[in-house]
A = this chain, B = another copy of it.
């Protein structure tokens, strides 16, 4: 039926040169599902604490995100992240991470979530990713994100998880670290040899690159004069990307993947314009399509003099 995502649901305290927020709604599954919600039905799987209130559920539900599989742990506390960004908005500096209810999380998916046609395993421990992947047998297309922590502490599990998905969406530095190969094109080929038929290298402000057996594609980040909070950009990218692929409900060929890269880029760009979920929460599909067209016009060029 829909698109299922498993990942963190969090409170984020973030400071950037352009402002700060205390305990705002965040987390990979939140940013992903809000971005994907413009294209398809999305189900979120993940734990929250007793401190996660109706106003937080409302942000998701106002965008039509299905929250039945959000597990509210009585007496528990929601995952918490605190960090800041300096002059270089590409680098997050973590000050505090409290796993809280995420520490004991065992994914239990409802029948509806298990029946998803598409699945996103956001950046969580790779054994958890594998448990969810195993429960979602109907998902004809699954993608995962990961991070340096898991490459360094759970490498074998991560390699196994990668072997069970169709698409890997990670930062380019992580592709290099995972493979020990400095050349990105070679590194992406090594990741594809593990199973996936698409590898996406997220490159921060530089955009993202797509590697498939048929070739290479890349898009720049959408140029913005006002970037206030980069938190969640990568998950918004993944949400726009997989949401579009699920929503168009067609063959996932290279042309569809390229358009999906465009929608991922657009959703990421809206995400960073304001703090947390503020911008995406009031975004419209028209705004998305307008920026998609603008992105297309920024990347096309003629073969011959006109």
Q: Report A's interface with B, CB cutoff 8 A.
A: 17, 87-89, 182-186, 189, 203, 205-207, 209, 215-220, 223-227, 248, 250, 255-256, 258-259, 261-262, 293, 296-303, 305-306
Q: Closest residue to A257 on the B side, CB-wise? A: B301
Quick one: which of B87, B220, B306 contacts A182, CB cutoff 8 A?
A: B87
Which residues of chain B have C-beta atoms less than 8 A from A256's C-beta? 305
A296 vs B218: C-alpha distance when bound (angstroms)? 11
- Given the known inter-chain contacts A184-B205, A224-B185, please indicate yes or no for A298 contacting B259, CB distance below 8 A: no
Excluding A186-B225, A203-B206, A220-B220, 18 further A-B contacts by CB distance (< 8 Å) are A88-B182, A183-B225, A183-B226, A185-B225, A206-B206, A207-B220, A209-B223, A215-B297, A216-B223, A217-B301, A218-B220, A255-B302, A255-B305, A259-B302, A296-B301, A296-B303, A299-B299, A299-B301
- Copies of the chain in the assembly: 2
Say yes or no: A250 contacts B305, CB within 8 Å. yes
Quick one: which of B182, B218, B248, B255 contacts A298, CB cutoff 8 A?
A: B218
Closest approach, in angstroms, between the C-beta of A194 and any C-beta of chain B?
18
Say yes or no: A261 contacts B298, CB within 8 Å. no
Which residues of chain B have C-beta atoms less than 8 A from A262's C-beta? 301
A27 vs B301: C-alpha distance when bound (angstroms)? 31
Q: Closest residue to A249 on the B side, CB-wise? A: B305
Q: Closest residue to A289 on the B side, CB-wise? A: B303
Q: Closest residue to A256 on the B side, CB-wise? A: B305
Q: Closest residue to A250 on the B side, CB-wise? A: B305
Say yes or no: B296 contacts A185, CB within 8 Å. no
Which residues of chain B have C-beta atoms less than 8 A from A205's C-beta? 184
Which residues of chain B have C-beta atoms less than 8 A from A203's C-beta? 206
A114 vs B223: C-alpha distance when bound (angstroms)? 38
Say yes or no: A223 contacts B184, CB within 8 Å. yes
Say yes or no: B185 contacts A223, CB within 8 Å. yes
A223 vs B183: C-alpha distance when bound (angstroms)? 9
- Given the known inter-chain contacts A183-B225, A185-B224, A203-B206, please indicate yes or no for A303 contacting B299, CB distance below 8 A: no
Closest approach, in angstroms, between the C-beta of A295 and any C-beta of chain B?
9
Report 23 cross-chain contacts, Cβ distance below 8 Å, ordered by A residue.
A17-B182, A183-B227, A185-B223, A185-B224, A185-B225, A206-B207, A209-B223, A215-B297, A215-B298, A216-B298, A217-B301, A218-B223, A219-B299, A220-B220, A250-B305, A255-B301, A256-B305, A258-B301, A261-B301, A293-B303, A296-B301, A299-B300, A300-B300
Which residues of chain B have C-beta atoms less than 8 A from A182's C-beta? 17, 87-89
